[in-house]
Amino acid sequence: MNTTSCGSNLLFSRSDWDFGTLSRAFDTIERDALEELNLDIHPVQMEIISSEQMLDAYSSIGMPLMYRHWSFGKHFLHHELLYRKGGRGLAYEIVINSNPCIVYLMEENTMALQALVIAHAALGHNHFFKNNYLFKEWTDASSILSYLDFAKTYIARCEERHGLSAVEDILDTAHALMEQGVFRYRRPPKRSLEKQRQNLRGRLDYEERSYNDLWRTLPPAKGESPADENESKIAERRKSLQLPEENLLYFLEKNSLILEPWQREILRIVRVIAQYFYPQRQTQVMNEGCATFVHYTVMNALFDRGFISEGAMLEILSNHSNVIFQPAFDDPRFSGINPYALGLDIMQDIKRISTAPTDEDRDWFPQIAGNGDWRGTLLDAWANHRDESFIRQYLSPALIRKWRLFQLSDTASEPHYEVASIHNERGYQQIRAALAHSYDIGANRSDIQVVDVDLLGDRHLRLEHKVTDGILLEHSSCEATLRHIRKLWGYQVSLVGVDGHTGAKIYERVSE
Amino acid sequence: MPIFIDRRLNPKDKSLGNRQRFLRRAREDLKRSIRDGIRSGKISDADSAQAVVLPKKGTDEPRFKEAKNTGRREHILPGNKHFSPGDRLPKPGGGAGMTSSPSTDESEDDFRFVLSREEVLDLFFEDLELPDMVKLNLKEILAFRPRRAGFAATGSPTNINVGRTMRNSLGRRIALKRPKRQDIDAICREVAELEAGPQTLIIRERIAALKTEIERMKRRQRLIAYVDPVDIRFNRFEARPVPNANAVMFCLMDVSGSMGEREKDLAKRFFVLLHLFLKRRYDRTEIVFIRHTHEAQEVDEETFFYSTQSGGTVVSTALEKMHQIVSERYPSSEWNIYAAQASDGDNVVADSQRCIALLDQEIMRLCQYYAYVEIIDERERHIFGTTENGTSLWQAYSLVNEKWPNFQMTRIAEATDIYPVFRQLFTKQVKARTN
């Protein structure tokens, strides 16, 4: 360790950075974080970019490579406008879940800020990406960049061959269905063509072997009406298409009769990218919380050991407290719960519970209260949870009191809100459950699935929207999206809204 | 040890392709926005970089969205101060943000952004096929500008080239062995020294010899001039023709009561086009606005387009005014003069002859180009569109049109006519010239 007693062992003394200082800072921070918190990270690749390039990265959803589409241009102009007017600062960094983990640092950052950002992104986010089960299972960090490269060149080639507007049409429709383009509950089926054929052959073999002409001569059973037969046919059909299917893009890609191969490939690209980002959306609080916890802990440790001067530490703390600022609900600045603040607070609370628990904590968290191993507890939480389960598991009454959380019921038909629960004995469970639920993206996103289509008949594609809590779809955007689906499907498309509990039909929309 | 990559020097405009695609997508809206801008803005600003407002509508990205005003939701909010379970809070009327659920959507309302000059022109001329227009060749009056072209032995004293003159003088002095002043001075000093010393015979003889030498040298110096007229050289200038880079555009418009908003708007668009066109051709363009009723005034742009004046219609007053301004401020040797006249064709009957005379004898000789645009009612188009019949002014100008190839006249009934008409005006002239 670099703890020579003579002279200062400051990592940096000026606010300007250079590559030597950055490299030294990274080495110290990395060593400290790995020792202090037992982090486990991908190798890091740091790229210095200008603010202009940061805007570029913003507009292509944070990825270093992206295919071209007008909507990214629109987002760029939008961000640029906000930035130029000073309405919004730019992020200090962008981190990409890849192996090696790519961290973008803005050249405008001061050295203190660079150190903070390195601890935050290159270690905090990096650890989370590498160890959280969702990312492990769903994303392939080592291949995403080469996949994006493929996507970019593929789409550029399509543009050359089929014209800009044809490609744009497909991308528009695919983007409209991006949210319905992920597998929420299962892995995509990965059956090879060969295996599929084998299965089919086996089944035919079996049928041949067990064929018995006698079955044909049996009279139809009494009471079996043609309607039942029809129903069983539908069931058969749905089974063969593996319906219901929640991933609309997947279904259209595999089953649409009018798409060209290149169009299917584009749908696939959009779907793969949507799936890649799905874990990030489910772990926002944890991801940011983890990164914030890491930078806060590491920076304080470095300060205690004299690696960082007081002035730099003040700058770091000032930035830190800006990031975790959480205004109350009646503050004009309030715009929802700040994931950085919530994540960090729960994680610090976990540390408190495992080192200095109260009686209440022992009641609520018998398994971790007072175990003394806060590092292990946190590593376990980071690895095995997503936002919803994390909050459901670890939001403590103490934290609910500290945040003074309360639950507000909002029924559209009534002229008032009702306070459902507050931070008291009876409210803790409910608030925790409701907050966790609000982070469950799978449950909150409108549940729209393909339920039926008769490929041999009129090919009418039937979608079903399971309405939960009476929340309907906005009319105009729904119509427009249906039109997009119709473009991909080529035949009639209808959307039926049914009540999630009773199954009663609420509305029906048909796109001709 | 991490890997560092410095990306700052990478090309910046990574998103340029996306920007182009977006502009293409929003083309219709942008075009409308630019046209509106041109209608309300100044003519001379028409091709500058422009901030345009883009309505959200054309470029939204639909997806299944939850309707805000349906169903039941539970919100968890921080910062409870005095609520207890069962409290009821009235909903804010305008749906203020206070209880909105944490949303990640960004509000993307109509937003403004700046288009570069090229993008503006592209959009403005999109269906106007600018490249063809640029190819058109207008005749240009040549002006002469003196340019240095070597040296001459004659010229005016102000053009003496001192360096060259002194060089010649030095050469001549060396060749003719003109005695130098310091040589004479040296001998004079020697004489003075000798005279100061003891006077012997030899010395006196020596002094006398030196004095004659001084005399001789001084005489020679007088005979051979320091600068002789043969040495003198003058800068020589040659008058070289240069293309005239200044243009002035006269906008003449009838502002009497019969010209309504529609007519003025059409006229303005025509003026804008002509101005853009001239601006691309010439280094410097100026615009003069002349409005007329029964009398003509030179006014600023604002007044020209937006104030009305009552009165009769005497077109020749405007022509006279123009002639007067040209002779006062814009000599035709220095300026390319373009004129565009917009009118609804009304004129006092007796005045048309005077107009013809003015144009024929004075103005057409000064003008590079004169365009007359008659703005007619849409309903009149099918009556007048093809025939040579028309208003009194039209008939009068037809005579001028026959005589002068750089006089053009046409009718406009609606905005879509303007560009074809504009194009036709210029192509026609090229044909006339090649014939």
Q: Is B57 on the interface with A (CB under 8 A)?
A: no
- Do B368 and B227 share a domain, yes or no? no
Q: What is the pLDDT of residue A331?
A: 83
Distance CA B359, CA B353 (A): 10
Q: Is residue B105, in this structure, part of any structural domain at all?
A: no
Q: Is residue B339, in this structure, part of any structural domain at all?
A: yes
Is the model's pLDDT at B413 over the cut of 50? yes
β-strand partners of B373: B342, B410
Distance CA A130, CA B260 (A): 72
H or E stretch covering A494: strand A493-499
- The residue among B3, B9, B18, B88 with the most chain A CBs within 10 A of its CB, best to mutate, is B18
Q: Do B80 and A22 touch (CB under 8 A)?
A: no
Please state the length of chain A.
512
Percent of chain A residues topping a pLDDT of 90: 16
B64 contacts in chain A (CB < 8 Å): 179-180, 446, 448, 473, 477-478, 481
Distance CA A486, CA A461 (A): 9
Q: Which has the minimum average pLDDT: A83-97, A487-501, B114-128? A: B114-128
* CB pairs A-B closer than 8 Å: 261
User: Residue A335 sits in which domain range?
Assistant: 324-442
Task: Report which of residues A384 and A3 the model is more confident about.
Answer: A384
pLDDT averaged over every residue in chain B: 75
Mean pLDDT in residue range A128-155: 87
Is the model's pLDDT at B411 over the cut of 90? no
3-state SS track over A146-182: HHHHHHHHHHHHHHHHHCHHHHHHHHHHHHHCHHHCC
- The residue among B8, B24, B77 with the most chain A CBs within 10 A of its CB, best to mutate, is B77
pLDDT in tens, A342-391: 999 999 999 999 998 888 888 898 888 888 888 999 999 999 998 999 99
A480 contacts in chain B (CB < 8 Å): 62
Q: Is B51 on the interface with A (CB under 8 A)?
A: no
A179 contacts in chain B (CB < 8 Å): 63-64
CA angle B126, B127, B128 (to 5 degrees): 90
Q: Do B8 and A415 touch (CB under 8 A)?
A: no
Q: What is the pLDDT of residue A189?
A: 55
Q: Name the token pair of A8.
A: 């200062």
Q: Is residue A113, in this structure, part of any structural domain at all?
A: yes
Mean pLDDT in residue range B251-270: 78
Is the model's pLDDT at B130 over the cut of 50? no
- Do B155 and B298 share a domain, yes or no? no
Mean pLDDT in residue range B387-413: 76
DSSP three-state, residue A108: coil
Q: Which of B10, B24, B69 is the closest to A412 by Cβ?
A: B69
Q: Which of B6, B71, B85 is the closest to A48 by Cβ?
A: B6
- Do B375 and B330 share a domain, yes or no? yes
Is the model's pLDDT at B12 over the cut of 60? yes
Least Cα distance to A489 among A176, A206, A257 occurs for A257
Among B236, B266, B291, identify where a domain stops: B236
- Do B400 and B286 share a domain, yes or no? yes
pLDDT averaged over every residue in chain A: 84
The chain A residue lying nearest B92, using CA atoms, is: A416
User: Residue B185 sits in which domain range?
Assistant: 150-236
Q: Do A419 and B3 touch (CB under 8 A)?
A: no
- Do B231 and B249 share a domain, yes or no? no
Is the model's pLDDT at B132 over the cut of 50? no
Task: Report which of residues B386 and A324 the model is more confident about.
Answer: A324
The chain B residue lying nearest A107, using CA atoms, is: B8
**Domain total in chain B:** 3
Q: Is residue A220, in this structure, part of any structural domain at all?
A: no
Q: Is B25 on the interface with A (CB under 8 A)?
A: yes
Is the model's pLDDT at B131 over the cut of 60? no
Q: What is the pLDDT of residue A347?
A: 93
Residue A88's pLDDT band (cuts 50, 70, 90): low
Q: In degrees to the nearest 10, what's the CA dihedral of B61, B66, B70, B73? A: -140
Which of A10-19, A114-123, A207-216 is modeled with the greatest confidence?
A114-123
- Do B116 and B222 share a domain, yes or no? no
**Domain total in chain A:** 2
Mean pLDDT in residue range A413-441: 87
Question: Measured in Å, how far apart are chain B's first and last C-alpha atoms?
Answer: 78
Q: Is residue A267, in this structure, part of any structural domain at all?
A: no
Q: Is B64 on the interface with A (CB under 8 A)?
A: yes
Q: Which has the minimum average pLDDT: A1-15, A178-192, B265-279, B364-378? A: A1-15
Residues B236 and B333: beta-carbon distance below 8 Å:
no
Residue B101's pLDDT band (cuts 50, 70, 90): very low
Q: Is A29 on the interface with B (CB under 8 A)?
A: no
Distance CA A128, CA A509 (A): 43
**Helical residues (DSSP H) of A93-247, grouped into ranges:** 111-117, 126-131, 133-138, 144-162, 164-176, 193-209, 214-217, 226-240
Q: What does the DSSP 8-state code read for residue B125?
A: T
Q: Report, in angstroms and rounded to the nearest whole number, the Rg of chain A calculated over CA atoms.
A: 27
Q: Which residues contact A114 (CB under 8 A, 6 or more apart)?
A: A17, A22, A25, A105
- Do A337 and A431 share a domain, yes or no? yes
Among A402, A421, A442, identify where a domain stops: A442
Q: Is A45 on the interface with B (CB under 8 A)?
A: yes
Residues A394 and A377: beta-carbon distance below 8 Å:
no
Task: Report which of residues B184 and B362 the model is more confident about.
Answer: B184
Q: What is the pLDDT of residue B162?
A: 92
Exposed/middle/buried for A292, CB within 10 Å: 0-12, 13-18, 19+? Answer: buried
Q: Which of A19, A76, A438 is the closest to B4 by Cβ?
A: A19
Q: Which of B8, B18, B91 is the closest to A69 by Cβ?
A: B18
Q: Is residue B268, in this structure, part of any structural domain at all?
A: yes
- Do B399 and B258 share a domain, yes or no? yes
A407 contacts in chain B (CB < 8 Å): 74-76
Q: What is the pLDDT of residue B93?
A: 59
DSSP three-state, residue A346: helix
Q: Is A451 on the interface with B (CB under 8 A)?
A: no
